[in-house]
Amino acid sequence: MSAEKELARALWLNEADTRAVMAALGDGARFVGGAVRNELLGETVGDIDIATAETPERASALLAAKGIKVVPTGIDHGTITAVMPTRHFEITTLRVDVATDGRRADVAFTGDWVEDAKRRDFTINALYADADGTVHDPLGTGREDIKARRVRFIGDASARIAEDYLRVLRFFRIHAWYGAGEPDAEGLKACADAREGLRQLSGERVRDELLKIAGADNAGAAFRQMAAAGILSIVLPEASRLDRFEKLVDIEANQLFKSDPLLRLASTLDLDAGGVAALASRLKLSNRDRDRIEAMLTDKTKIVAYLSIKEVRKALYIIGVQTFKDRVMLGWAEDRKGHNTFQWRAMLAMADSWVRPDFPLTGEMIKQSGVPEGPEIGRVRREVEEWWIDADFTDDEFSIIERLKAVVQATVY
């Protein structure tokens, strides 16, 4: 295969929907950014972005002519989305920045691939590929940086950051996922110098980047580097447990677990319910994510490596599978001995296979035992349920009825 068409065999490039979109757009379209970068690095390709010399209106017309649905997702900035059965393609007209304020840019459309490349963030993200797999490096620096796994800003690092302060966090994120060795010194200094600009960003944008950084294999180093540069204290001042965070990252990597960014982020924290609520408000966390973090940080159930099978089942019933597994992972990350891997893994396996038992005592059964209607029904039920849990969820109906009778005789007047 010729060097010019080195991506010709990429699976995503040869998918029917990909080829259909590129054919509709014609010769003025190229793949750009993450898909090209990841394919060259041998990494998994997710989203497929396309750059085109056509205006958004013209690109939309070309796609519509081939029966492809188009959504004007960011048409003021030149972006439309082609909706296909297997995936969506974000298509953006070549552009240059006219004015920026550190959060957003006013753009003008262009037909110049070099000018489009100059406005991007990092050299390894400014590579393009034709539909036949031919790779283009308009700035002449991306290919070498890809080979070295070197994350560098395009041109002057400070100028690139001033265009959008989120690039400070993107620098650490891209390096954590794709870089090798220490971060680029010029880029690191520019990020540290520009850290106050991060205060301008919305909670949503900061949250998304923090979670993406946390999900990387090299997240531990990235967070330490951010802390050393004075950046973490701005975007996540609550992060007081980087020791636990780094251990958790190592556990997930060594045990071949899928990374859990939210769990990792929570592992940096030592907060009460009020602290979690304040964090969730600032970072605009979903209610579900807020509740999950609060549960794992505030739950007081005893979770240690030497729990018995009975104790595991009891904990699972009381706090639920998700909180139990989160507590196990946090406990594992704080295990001083470091040789209880089998026990921690066994508890996770039990949680994955556990089926919640149904408490067989009904309200009707309680009423028939002589308990009057009202709050006493619930109180008696809870009393018997506590015994049933301690009895390891016995299914012996006779024993359950006998316990009910004993509770009623002793406490119901």
Q: What is the mean pLDDT of the chain?
A: 94
Q: Spell out the alpha helix ranges (H) of 42-183.
A: 56-65, 113-118, 142-148, 157-163, 166-178
Query: 């006493």: which residue's tokens?
Result: 376
pLDDT of residue 104: 62
User: By the 8 A CB rule, do 154 and 114 touch?
Assistant: no
229 phi/psi in degrees, rounded to 5 = -85, 0
Q: How many CA atoms lie within 13 A of 167 on its CB side?
A: 28
Q: How large is the average pLDDT for residues 21-40?
A: 96
Residue 132 has pLDDT above 70, yes or no: yes
User: By the 8 A CB rule, do 127 and 146 touch?
Assistant: yes
Reported residue count of the chain is 413
The predicted-structure confidence for 354-410, as pLDDT tens digits, reads as follows: 999 999 999 999 999 999 999 999 999 999 999 999 999 999 999 999 999 999 999
The predicted-structure confidence for 64-86, as pLDDT tens digits, reads as follows: 999 999 999 888 788 999 999 99
3-class secondary-structure state, position 374: coil
One-letter amino acid at 372 equals P
Residue 58 has pLDDT above 70, yes or no: yes
Q: How many CA atoms lie within 13 A of 208 on its CB side?
A: 7
Residue 1 has pLDDT above 50, yes or no: no
Stronger pLDDT, 133 or 110, i.e. the higher one: 133
Instruction: Give residue 2's pLDDT band: very low, low, confident or very high (50, 70, 90).
Output: very low
User: By the 8 A CB rule, do 95 and 78 touch?
Assistant: yes
CATH T-level assignment (fold) for domain 1-148: Beta Polymerase; domain 2 (3.30.460)
Q: Which residues of 46-60 are buried (b: 16+ CB within 10 A; e: fewer)?
A: eebbbbbbbebeebb
164 phi/psi in degrees, rounded to 5 = -165, 110
Cα(365)–Cα(381) distance, rounded to whole angstroms? 10
pLDDT of residue 98: 62
Cα(45)–Cα(38) distance, rounded to whole angstroms? 6
One-letter amino acid at 272 equals D
Instruction: Tell me the two tokens of residue 400.
Output: 């359950």
- Distances in whole angstroms, Cα of residue 178 to Cα of each of 117, 148, 217, 263: 20, 10, 10, 22
Q: How many CA atoms lie within 13 A of 357 on its CB side?
A: 17
Q: How large is the average pLDDT for residues 2-23?
A: 90
Residue 102 has pLDDT above 70, yes or no: no
- Pairing status of strand 88-93 against strand 48-52: parallel
Note the pTM of the prediction, 2 decimals. 0.90
For the chain, domain boundaries: 1-148, 299-353, 363-411
- Distances in whole angstroms, Cα of residue 123 to Cα of each of 57, 137, 254, 345, 362: 29, 9, 31, 41, 66
Classify residue 225 as exposed, middle or buried by CB count within 10 Å of its CB (0-12, 13-18, 19+): buried
| DSSP annotation string for 216-272 | STTHHHHHHHHHHTT-HHHH-TT---HHHHHHHHHHHHHTTPPP-HHHHHHHT----
Beta-bridge partner residues of 175:
none
Instruction: Tell me the two tokens of residue 118.
Output: 């100059």
Residue 100 has pLDDT above 90, yes or no: no
Q: Which residues of 104-115 are buried (b: 16+ CB within 10 A; e: fewer)?
A: ebebebbeebee
pLDDT of residue 110: 83
DSSP conformation class of 6: T
Percent of the chain with pLDDT over 70: 96
Q: How large is the average pLDDT for residues 246-273?
A: 96
Q: How large is the average pLDDT for residues 109-128?
A: 93
54 phi/psi in degrees, rounded to 5 = -80, 150
Percent of the chain with pLDDT over 90: 91
pLDDT of residue 378: 94
> At CA 28, angle to CA 24 and CA 31, rounded to 5?
85
User: By the 8 A CB rule, do 239 and 232 touch?
Assistant: yes
pLDDT of residue 228: 97
Residue 99 has pLDDT above 60, yes or no: no
Closest CA to 218 of 244, 252, 167, 262: 252
pLDDT of residue 336: 85
The predicted-structure confidence for 335-347, as pLDDT tens digits, reads as follows: 988 889 999 999 9
User: By the 8 A CB rule, do 273 and 247 touch?
Assistant: no
The predicted-structure confidence for 137-154, as pLDDT tens digits, reads as follows: 999 999 999 999 999 999
